Amino acid sequence: MDLQLSGKRALVTGSSAGLGEVIARHLAAEGAAVVVHGRDEARTAAVAGSIREKGADAAVAIGDLATDAGAEEVATAALKGGPVDILVNNVGVYDPSVGWADSSSVEWAGIYNINVISSVRMIQHLVPGMRERGWGRVIQISSVLGDLPQASQPHYAATNAARNNLAASLARELKHSGVTSNAVAAGGVLTPGIQDFLTDLGRQSGWGETWEEIEPNAVNALSPNDVGRVGRPRGYADLVSYLASPLAGYITGATLRIDGGWYDA
Ligand SMILES: NC(=O)c1ccc[n+]([C@@H]2O[C@H](COP(=O)([O-])OP(=O)(O)OC[C@H]3O[C@@H](n4cnc5c(N)ncnc54)[C@H](OP(=O)(O)O)[C@@H]3O)[C@@H](O)[C@H]2O)c1
């Protein structure tokens, strides 16, 4: 399927690593020009460089989205090479080892700032231009934990409910504008960091020694789902690329869960 992304320009926040990197690479492979973003200059430049080596257009934006000044720097850098048509708000932090007893009010406020307000900052910088041009796509990456909160990392789960909620509110604000707003609520994402975390936990919990042994046990224990595995970044990137494309113009205000059918244990 031709996603008709050539001629479009996309900023993926937090694309120097993890899921955001895979999304940026996939959008570029589908023909979009991409802006790769992170705080770490070397890591961000390396991702953009390797996208360019494949013949695609990739620029770099550096900045800490936890601050207004950092977000402004990112928006300015992103707009240097042309308008931004597609904004993927992917930056987010989480820590499965934190629970109610050890998450202070400062940590609740801090994670809300990074996971929610960083997106608001980028929306406020970039969506007015999309509205003026009569076309745009805004996609929040969130987690299924927004719908299925667990006892662990309650502050993270709450930020995901907020991410889904703001995506719907923004769609109402943008009605009849040609700009859509949606959230992609992900189940587990098999990034290198998550695989390392689950491998250590699996060995300590007696789930096995190799990743092949550990994965089904980790899924059963932590994220029971009908498919029986952790989600691969590529599957999420496929959905995000479709939502970002002109083909998805009738989808707005939605939270699309992609989680293998994750259910409450
Ligand atoms: N991994 C999962 O299992 C999972 C599941 C569901 C949803 N999600 C969501 O998916 C998104 C990506 O997760 P991930 O696991 O791919 O994350 P990750 O591997 O930790 O990557 C995080 C990215 O965000 C950037 N970043 C972090 N804090 C930042 C800040 N304050 N300002 C600017 N950039 C910042 C990092 O850039 P630098 O390091 O270069 O600064 C990096 O590029 C998150 O929103 C998360 O909530 C993840």
- pLDDT tens digits for 135-187? 999 999 999 999 999 999 999 999 999 999 999 999 999 999 999 999 999 99
By the 8 A CB rule, do 218 and 229 touch?
no
- Residue 87 is predicted with a pLDDT of 99
Ligand 1 centroid from CA 32, angstroms:
21
**How many percent of the chain have pLDDT more than 70?**
100
Active site residue 94: no
Dihedral (CA of 148, 154, 160, 165) sign? positive
pLDDT in tens, 201-212: 999 999 999 999
- Residue 159 is predicted with a pLDDT of 98
Residue identifier of the C-alpha nearest atom 45 of ligand 1: 92
CATH architecture of the domain covering 9-189+232-256: 3-Layer(aba) Sandwich (3.40)
Helices 154-173 & 105-112 angle (0-180, nearest 10): 30
* Helices vs. strands in the chain: H and E counts, helices first: 9, 7
pLDDT at 265 over 80: no
- Residue 23 is predicted with a pLDDT of 98
Mutate to test the pocket of ligand 1, among 22, 62, 67, 90 (most ligand atoms within 8 A of CB): 90
Ligand 1 centroid from CA 114, angstroms:
10
- Residue 86 is predicted with a pLDDT of 99
Instruction: For residue 89, give the H/E element and its range.
Output: strand 86-89
Residue identifier of the C-alpha nearest atom 33 of ligand 1: 64
For the Cβ of 35 lying below 6 angstroms from any atom of ligand 1, the answer is: no
The structure's pTM equals: 0.98
- Residue 50 is predicted with a pLDDT of 98
- Residue 264 is predicted with a pLDDT of 86
Q: How many other CB atoms sit within 10 Å of the CB of residue 128?
A: 12
Provide CATH 3.40.50.720 ranges for the chain: 9-189+232-256
Catalytic residue among 156, 236, 242, 250: 156
For the Cβ of 262 lying below 6 angstroms from any atom of ligand 1, the answer is: no
Strands 136-143 and 86-89: parallel
pLDDT in tens, 81-133: 999 999 999 999 999 889 999 999 999 999 999 999 999 999 999 999 999 99
Going from the C-alpha of 107 to that of each of 2, 142, 184, 264, the distances in angstroms are 43, 18, 24, 26
pLDDT at 47 over 80: yes
